Chains A and B, each alone.
Chain A
Amino acid sequence: MKYILLISLLAYSCIEIVNVEEVQNISGTLVVEGGITSELKRHQVILTKSHGTTGKANPEPVTGAQLSIYDSRDTEYILTEQSSGMYFTDSIAGEVGEVYTLVINYQNQRYEAIDSMVASAAVGPIALQPLNVSQSISGTQYFEFFYRDNFGSSQPYTYTITSEIAKNVKDYYPADWQPADWLQKRLDESRFVTTDSTYYLLPGLEPPAILAYGRTNDSRNLYGSIITERFYSMSPKYYAFIRAMLSETDWKTLGPFGYQSANVPGNVSNGAFGYFHASDVYLVSQEIQK
């Protein structure tokens, strides 16, 4: 973010922090964040209130609301508040093609958010490259992979990738094999996950995001590691929300790559902010075989 700002502000010699608090108009409007996916699990919706623009963002949770998700057959899935402002369903799975409506009743106000679950397309697993021996440490064969590009995807996704060292990693190597110090420490502490990233794969190029993220690689993968990718589909409206939200946050710049500022269009009625989404999940998992 600051790198982007720097490039866009090269012409400017001076910046100072100013107080424009007089424009603040904090309404305490309800904010909805969450969704339902095709994975069988407990799905989460977070309710908070809108807050000021300056200082540390510390949104106030909304407690005591009644939440339900309905499908097109009017099947109701009730969410219960597990902790302050965090509401969960029972373990359920959504269906592709289904339309889901989140209904919130809070302080005598009714809010609704509708989204449809579009299918994720099949995607091949990420390519792995064995690192050459000179780059490997202590005789261990390592593998690297490049993160998927942010852009150029056939359809938009929220994307997660995890890489997990096999608990029995020593079984993949000769008996006299000695793990590197960092690996032994992880094994001792049972910290097997070496990669856990979430980002967006979008169809169009967004130059500020290239400046912000770029592509990178991960080289802490050994035999037996499991690399899991999840592709969460987006409805066109959800994609528009995510793109607008990013253009107002991570991609924000005043420079030539800037976006026309505007309010982020959510899908919650009655003036609430945020988005309740429905996403199909396409999962790709691979184990690094010896």
Chain B
Amino acid sequence: MRWCIALIFFAFAAHGQQLTNTEIAIVPGKYDARQLLADVASHYQLQLSYNPALIKNEEVIISGDLKLQTLITKIFGENSRFKLKNDRLVIYQSTAINGFVRDKETGEALIGASVAVVYDGKLVGGVITNKYGFYALELPQTYTEIQIAYMGYMPVTYALYENVPDIIELAPASIKLQEIVVTDSLEKIALVDTDKIGHLSISPKVLKDAPALFGESDIIKMVQLQPGVVSNGEGSTNFYVRGGQSDQNLVMLDEAPVFNPSHLLGFFSVFNADAIVQTDLYKSGIPAIYGGRLSSVLDVRMKEGNNQKLAGAGGIGLLATRLLVEGPLKKDKSSFVVTARRTYADLFFKLSKDEFTRKTSIYFYDITAKLNFKINPKNRVYFSGYFGRDFANIKTLQYGMDWGNVTLTSRWNHIYSDKLFSNLTAIYSRYDYQLDLSGSGGLANWRSSLNNYGLKADFSYYHNDNIFVKFGGSISYLPYKPGFGDDPALAVPKKNTLESALYVENEHQLSNKSLLTYGLRYSLFQLVGPATTFDISSNGNQISEVKQGGGIYTNYHGPEPRVRYRYKLNAYNSVKASYDRTRQYKQILTNLNLGFNVFDIWIPSTKYILPQVADQYSMGFYKTTRNQALDFSTALYYKSMRNQVALADHSRLLMNRYMETEVRQGRGQAYGVEVTINKNTGKLTGQLSYTWSRTKIKVPELNEGKYYPTSFDQPHHVALFASYYLSKRVRLGANFNYSTGRPTMYPVESFTYDGKAVPVYQQRNSQRLPDYHRLDLSVEIKNKNFDRRWQSSWTIAFYNIYNRYNASGIFLSEELNDLGDFSQSDNRAYHKLYLFGIVPSITYNFRF
């Protein structure tokens, strides 16, 4: 046996990360394992730390250059790992575990639950569960304590990882127990630990606790209260994230895109709060799995249904009634959940003495349903769907409209191994509307629709506790019918598109302090014939139609790199940064200055409408207190946007066959700072945030080619929502929302031509509506039936408690004192439109 050791190291060999990747040059031969390790450590001036009992091979044969991990595997076996910590080379054995985290009472998957690895009382690693409640992690065998926590649930600790079951069940914490959770808080993955930046999760509890218009909790109204998000005010489900248009938000229900999430002209969203289990909003640091929109992702997940027992919940309010029923199809194996809502204001209209009101009908209904089947521990399938429809008919004017969304999702979760998880998804979604104008004397009706047929494959690979890779791809076929009616000559030619993407993303734990996630998404957009397209003459005055044959006639594509980085200053403070490039191949064309968005027209990129591209740079500081009772965060962002869409002066969209020729494109900029404080535990919980932001756009053909503020540029935004438990039975809630008034254009003078007063404006959006602010209060009183099957509560809410008439818009016309006023007047005046003063509501909620 030759004990002579000959090591030839590269001259540039160094400590730390370089050692991880550098190949060590060792003269081929047979070596004593312990001595070889000692020599390697000595050469790199590292102290060596390992358990000799873990050595599998006392002697090793070296045949050439090799990496340190390869050497360690030769000596310690397959599950051996090393870490470099404070000039110490630590060698250890690891193990991989995976499973699901679920609600103990209902079997519902808990999305975003933290699975923490604790050693010596300190958090040393961990993950959060994915959208299916699944987790996988690798941990050193010396780190045996696993702690699982989720807001509103009793945490669970396993002292030995061998004891961790495939399905970890957490019991919901009662009000009283929530205080125990505070004082007995366990280590969990906190805001400072993840590399998520500009991300927000809204749990059903937070959603339910907030005061709501007409007592109906609404996820989009909650999103509108978040820092970096602004809205049109009341009566709108539009929201604008960090200077992006409302169509730059990817809104999804169980992975199916929702193209118009509005009910009742925008007073409510399509999302029934009872059916929602988790909502995530990404404003920056958008994972590579998401694409197709520039500014944000709103990922809404439906409940799976109680797989233990038949249960239900619902509410009866002044405006709507809702009901949820869920239960097992086969206990522990399969479950269902069905929800339904309907408003009934139209029923009260029929009681009116006024004929106009009596013959007016405005209502909506929606139904959601989900089934899930656990085929075996490695396979699970889900089927979910949404169907909703709105109707507004004014018979006295022979005017009506209806609109609605449909989504269908089928998913198959498969666990290939301890490390590889997949989700295959088939998606259908649709938005359409119809406008009945039979009373107009010339127009019969007008319809528009957009369908989406999609397939997705997503994979998660947990390589080790340092490397977590996600990859996959998607393809969607989207037929657009932007507008058509009885007259084919007016119809906007339909367009068919294919949108495809491949992505890969690696979450790389560089060290205990550094976490780097880098990914690349590559998207491809194709216009598919046959189709009718337009050619515009060079002077822009002549439009000629061109018939495209079958096949692809236009395509766009490009990379979308995404990077996130987190550096932990210590256990309670971290800094983060991110860069996102996003691309968007479809847009809404709208010229409405009001909030409601029923008549949005989706139109894809074309020869004349180039894909929108954005680059966002974001950085932030995150802090949490020792018991995680308080979180503080601040974020800065700058977003540069290309090919932003604006409409030409005096353009009109509805019934315009050549509407795409009305589009002008230019550059956009958005920047701002967001500050947020969250109180997570105790009797008083809530969030206070402040945002300062600006957003502007420059289009060569508009506004003399100068930058002008977008219609949602609202520099100051303050939002507060809080919940306070007076007792076990009584909870108070409050929302406060302030934002600078939205930019708009008022005429500053007029001139008379042909007897008409023609308005004169200054620059685009050079004036503002009055500032918006509103305070909502609510009280929830639970009935004394805590321990009974039937549990109920009353919620009394006051929306806009101080009765402020916030302007939805201001317009100039002949004096109009109310909507029924047809009297002629030569006097012209500015009119403010507003939706509500104070709106009291009372809702009876129940569950069984």
Contact = CB atoms under 8 A, between A and B. Distances in A.
A15 interface: yes
B10 interface: no
A57 B767 CA distance: 23
B750 A259 contact: no
Contact of A16 (B761, B805, B826): B805
Given A15-B833, A244-B650, A5 B751 contact: no
Interface in B818-837: 818-819, 821-822, 826-837
Contacts of B810: 18, 20
A54 B392 CA distance: 33
Q: Which of A11, A54, A245, A254 has the most CB of B within 10 A?
A: A11
A214 B438 CA distance: 12
Interface string B747-777: 1111111101111111010010000000000
B21 interface: no
A182 interface: no
A23 B810 CA distance: 13
Contact of A12 (B647, B752, B833): B833
Contacts of A124: none
B831 A273 contact: no
Contact of A274 (B647, B753, B818): B753
A272 to B, nearest CB: 9
A10 B650 CA distance: 23
Contacts of B655: 205, 207
Given A53-B828, A56-B826, A261-B761, A15 B816 contact: yes
A255 interface: yes
Given A256-B654, A258-B592, A17 B829 contact: yes
B532 interface: no
Interface stretch (A27-35, A128-136, A164-172): A27-35
Contacts of B369: none
A33 B754 contact: yes
B235 A11 contact: yes
Contacts of B813: 1-2, 5, 252
Binding site of B, secondary structure by majority: helix, strand, loop or mixed? loop
A205 B490 contact: yes
B545 to A, nearest CB: 15
Given A207-B443, A262-B649, A249 B756 contact: yes
Interface stretch (B75-83, B206-214, B593-601): B593-601
A9 B749 contact: no
Contacts of A49: 751
- Is chain A's interface secondary structure helix, strand, loop, or mixed overall? loop
B431 to A, nearest CB: 15
Contacts of B751: 29, 31, 48-51, 59, 273-274
Contacts of B830: 17-20, 53-54
A106 to B, nearest CB: 15
B748 A11 contact: no
Nearest to B651: A260
Contacts of A3: 822
A97 interface: no
A53 B757 contact: yes
Given A55-B828, A205-B490, A258 B757 contact: no
B753 A54 contact: no
Contacts of A261: 650, 745, 759, 761
B774 to A, nearest CB: 15
A210 B441 contact: yes
A53 B748 contact: yes
A248 interface: yes
Nearest to A250: B756
Contacts of A273: 751, 753, 758, 760
A23 B812 CA distance: 13
Contacts of B598: 256
A282 B799 CA distance: 62
Interface in A208-226: 210-211, 214-215
A51 B816 CA distance: 21
Nearest to B747: A53
Contact of B835 (A12, A236, A250, A257): A12
A249 B757 contact: yes
A206 interface: yes
Interface string B561-598: 00000000000000000000000000000011110101
Contacts of B277: none
Contacts of B559: none
A9 B746 CA distance: 18
Nearest to A55: B827
A82 interface: no
A125 B624 CA distance: 82
Contacts of A24: 748-749
Contacts of B833: 9, 12, 14-15, 254
Contacts of B397: 6-7
A148 interface: no
B51 interface: no
A242 to B, nearest CB: 9
B815 interface: yes
B423 to A, nearest CB: 39
A205 B827 CA distance: 30
B86 interface: no
A15 B760 CA distance: 23
B376 interface: no
Contact of A27 (B394, B749, B767): B749
B814 interface: yes
Interface in A29-76: 29, 31, 33, 48-57, 59
A54 B805 CA distance: 22
A215 B759 CA distance: 28
B509 to A, nearest CB: 51
A79 B814 CA distance: 35
B831 A18 contact: yes
A34 to B, nearest CB: 10
B442 A248 contact: no
Contacts of A56: 826-828
A244 B754 CA distance: 13
Contacts of B648: 260
Given A14-B835, A15-B816, A210-B440, A245 B754 contact: yes
14 contacts: A14-B834, A14-B837, A16-B805, A16-B832, A16-B834, A17-B817, A23-B767, A53-B749, A54-B830, A211-B440, A214-B442, A247-B652, A256-B654, A274-B751
Closest A-B pairs by Cβ, 4 of them: A262-B649, A214-B441, A256-B599, A210-B442
Interface of A: 1-3, 5-7, 9-20, 23-27, 29, 31, 33, 48-57, 59, 204-207, 210-211, 214-215, 236, 243-245, 247-250, 252, 254-265, 273-275
